[in-house]
């Protein structure tokens, strides 16, 4: 369904350019940029579409027709006064219509059927990573595709089918065996029945354990941390059986309150919980579309006093399903997000998508739910 963003597009972004080293890297492909050169942006339908606005001509029609009685318009109410009435009335109606339209869009976001589909990132040896994820983490290889003309390979892995589970999309770009993860990306989370047993298995398979099993700082949940062959960190969380074992993506942000409001209004996510840890000088907020023990969630982390991070070149984006990419893009714009790929169908595929950046420059691609289901079929 989705590849990786072309580096040319990434480096051109005002939000991301300052984070990326100057390197020569072949293109990465994704929903957001793969067909940008051959796709004409589709204009969004105005939020006030369908609402009749009173124009200066309409206003004039409701004023007394003084000229019919031999009285000039300027004598009746004054040219300047008439112009002022016309402009003010038109502006008031336009402002009211726009306000109503904006409220409708933001209200719609709350009822849209949204679900995290997959997270996309780059790896240096896709066969090595597939082996690690299947043998050590217990994931299944769902599908794999090689695109030699574009010089990249994708692999989708997860704990269940893509139509009902949050999955990983790995991308290998020919000839590139290493990427910079940076300081902004945090970790992925996987729920397991027994953290200690999981760590024993991972160690036996040659995996790297960077935090031994034990209670989380300031809490009771038993956790451990491991690293995959590319240096991506995974937090193992001890939980009872859950329908969504691949349960977290942790990203660091520079202003937590700003991020919470953005994801609530623009993405329709709920603030599931917030925890401040002054002893270790950080605060986290769990955002998602349902309880975190049953759904994949976004863990936003704010470290006291840190407002900017290095994003590197490894992590790419999250994909989220939506019923309407056009309304989604409009909501993102209303909430201060940046649209990097205007909503519309992908040429040759037909799947409708839109891509955006949050206030910290984290990228998300929204995919039409019906089109996504059709692709999987």
Take residue 45 and report the two structure tokens written for it: 């339908």
200 annotated to bind ligand: no
Number of neighbouring beta carbons within 10 Å of residue 330: 25
C-alpha 299/C-alpha 295 separation (Å) is: 12
C-alpha 334/C-alpha 18 separation (Å) is: 25
C-alpha 337/C-alpha 54 separation (Å) is: 31
C-alpha 213/C-alpha 200 separation (Å) is: 10
Residue 235 annotated to the active site: yes
Paired strand residues for 234: 188, 226
Of 235, 244, 330, 342, which is the active-site residue?
A: 235
- Enter the DSSP assignment of 296: -
C-alpha 63/C-alpha 66 separation (Å) is: 8
* 3 state SS for 137-201: CCCEEEEEEEECCCCEEEEEEECCCCCCCCEEEEEEECCCCCCCCCCCEEEEEEEECCHHHHHHH
Take residue 163 and report the two structure tokens written for it: 């139509």
377 annotated to bind ligand: no
Annotated binding site: 169, 187, 235
Annotated binding site for Zn(2+): 169, 187, 235
What residues are annotated to the active site?
Answer: 235
């Amino acid at each position: 369904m989705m590849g990786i963003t072309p580096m040319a597009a990434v480096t051109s972004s005002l939000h991301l350019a300052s984070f990326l080293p100057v390197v020569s890297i072949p293109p990465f492909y994704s929903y957001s940029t793969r067909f940008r050169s051959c796709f004409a942006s589709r204009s969004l339908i105005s939020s006030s579409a369908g609402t009749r606005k009173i124009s200066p001509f309409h206003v004039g029609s409701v004023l007394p027709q003084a000229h019919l009685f031999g009285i000039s318009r300027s004598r009746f109410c004054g040219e300047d006064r008439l112009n002022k009435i016309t402009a003010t009335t038109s502006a008031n109606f336009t402002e009211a219509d726009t306000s109503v339209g904006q409220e409708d869009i933001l209200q719609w976001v709350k009822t849209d059927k949204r679900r995290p589909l997959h997270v996309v990132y780059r790896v240096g040896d896709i066969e090595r990573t597939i082996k690690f994820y299947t043998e050590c983490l217990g994931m299944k290889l769902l599908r794999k595709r090689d695109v030699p003309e574009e010089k990249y390979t994708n692999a989708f892995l997860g704990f269940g089918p893509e139509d009902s589970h949050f999955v990983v999309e790995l991308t290998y770009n020919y000839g590139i065996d290493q990427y910079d993860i940076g300081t902004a990306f945090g970790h992925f989370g996987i729920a397991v029945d027994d953290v200690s047993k999981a760590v024993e298995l991972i160690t036996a398979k040659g995996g790297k354990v960077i935090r031994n099993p034990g209670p989380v700082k300031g809490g009771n949940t038993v956790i451990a941390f491991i690293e995959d062959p590319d240096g991506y960190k995974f937090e193992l969380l001890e939980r009872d059986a859950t329908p969504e074992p691949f349960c977290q993506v942790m990203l660091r942000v520079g202003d937590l309150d700003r991020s919470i409001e953005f994801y609530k209004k623009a993405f329709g996510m709920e603030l599931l919980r917030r925890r401040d840890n002054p002893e270790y000088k950080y605060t986290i907020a769990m955002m998602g579309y349902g309880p975190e023990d049953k759904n994949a969630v976004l863990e936003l982390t704010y470290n006291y006093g840190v407002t900017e991070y290095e994003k590197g070149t490894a992590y790419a984006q999250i994909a989220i399903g939506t019923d309407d990419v056009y309304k989604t893009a409009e909501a993102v714009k209303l909430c201060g997000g940046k649209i990097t790929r205007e909503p519309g169908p992908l040429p040759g595929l037909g799947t409708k998508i839109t891509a955006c950046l949050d206030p910290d420059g984290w990228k998300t691609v929204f995919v039409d739910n019906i089109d996504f289901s059709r692709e999987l079929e």
